[in-house]
Amino acid sequence: MTSLNPKTYDAAPSRKVAFLGLGVMGYPMAGHLALAGHEVTVYNRTAAKSKAFCEELSKSAKAPVSQADTPRAAAAGADMVFCCVGNDDDLRSVVLGPDGALAGMAQDAIFIDHTTASATVARELAAAAQELGIHFIDAPVSGGQAGAQNGMLTVMCGGEPEAFERARPVALAFARAVTLLGASGAGQLAKMVNQIAIAGLVQGLSEAVAFGQRAGLDMEAVLGVIGKGAAQSWQMDNRGKTMIEGKFDFGFAVDWMRKDLGLVLDEAKRNGARLPVTALVDQFYADVQQAGGTRWDTSSLITRLK
């Protein structure tokens, strides 16, 4: 399977789970759940993707895999329902309503949402789930497409401790760290902190590389040196060389980053946080979009400086 790199899975009781959304993140995440021995039912808005998933995983999964026509049907009988879709509206569409997941879930089941969405929608859906006796955990992830494929995502969670402790061993099928950070919405707020930090780092690295190139330096050699000191970062280690080479097809796209930064800036308006650098970098990403780089990865900020 080209989008999934199997790993050694921790021992965890086998569960009946559903996964809603088989995009570049959801497909390998659901795949790891199947390979870890959980019975997986998938739903995707484009049914062909669900069919392809089942055909591929049926050869290697340790438990049955199946597809459903609606989120409700996928969630029926599941101990846990995982989800990774595009935005707040997409999330509401698969959770709420007569065909939504909550309509098919049993009391005491757990909905774990890996969408990067607003803290507001996380609290809204948690309240809707609570009325039905269902647990809701907002659990956005960091690590990008490679992290999903390798089963090495970092998961930031908000919700009830008891439900979290039940969900955590299952989520470790596709993660290296799953951490509860507070009540509903805390996971989404933590993901916003993550994106604020990344935005500033990528812009700083872009300026450093562009400056060094203008100065005539061998930037691969320079990064090799400064990467052993205080300037070291994940971005430098993983995107420095590709930035130098002008390659920008390594996962997390500019369109997605702008969506995330929009969530950040909306939340900052509500809580009064001052984010001048983040707001500026958001506009720089808008420049990249206008230059045709909507699907380039986030390191393409350097193209503005060329």
Last residue of a domain, one of 125, 152, 183: 183
137 and 215 share a domain? no
91 phi-psi bin (left φ>0, alpha ψ -120 to 50, beta other): alpha
32 and 178 share a domain? yes
Q: How many CB atoms lie within 10 A of CB 108?
A: 11
Q: How far is CA 300 from the centre of its chain?
A: 20
CATH code, domain carrying 42? 3.40.50.720
CATH code, domain carrying 211? 1.10.1040.10
Q: What is the C-alpha to C-alpha distance for residues 31 and 148, in angstroms, rounded to an integer?
A: 10
pLDDT at 12 (0 to 100) = 81
Is 191 among the residues known to form the active site?
yes
| Residue 6 within a domain | no
| Residue 10 within a domain | no
199 and 159 share a domain? no
Last residue of a domain, one of 183, 204, 231: 183
Last residue of a domain, one of 183, 199, 227: 183
127 and 266 share a domain? no
22 and 161 share a domain? yes
Give per-residue pLDDT as tens, 97-137: 999 999 999 999 999 999 999 999 999 999 999 999 999 99
| Residue 29 within a domain | yes
57 and 175 share a domain? yes
pLDDT at 2 (0 to 100) = 54
| Residue 11 within a domain | no
Which residues in the chain land under pLDDT 70?
A: 1-2
143 and 211 share a domain? no
| Residue 7 within a domain | no
| Residue 216 within a domain | yes
Number of residues that this document lists for the chain: 306
206 and 178 share a domain? no
187 CB-near residues (< 8 Å, 6+ apart): 122, 137, 138, 139, 140, 155, 156, 157, 158, 159, 181
| Residue 5 within a domain | no
| Residue 172 within a domain | yes
Give the structural domain span for 284.
Answer: 189-305
pLDDT at 49 (0 to 100) = 96
pLDDT at 3 (0 to 100) = 74
204 and 173 share a domain? no
236 and 271 share a domain? yes
228 and 158 share a domain? no
164 and 29 share a domain? yes
pTM given for the model: 0.94
Active-site option among 16, 49, 51, 191: 191
pLDDT at 1 (0 to 100) = 47
Number of domains in the chain: 2
Q: What is the C-alpha to C-alpha distance for residues 257 and 176, in angstroms, rounded to an integer?
A: 23
Q: Give the amino acid at 112.
A: I
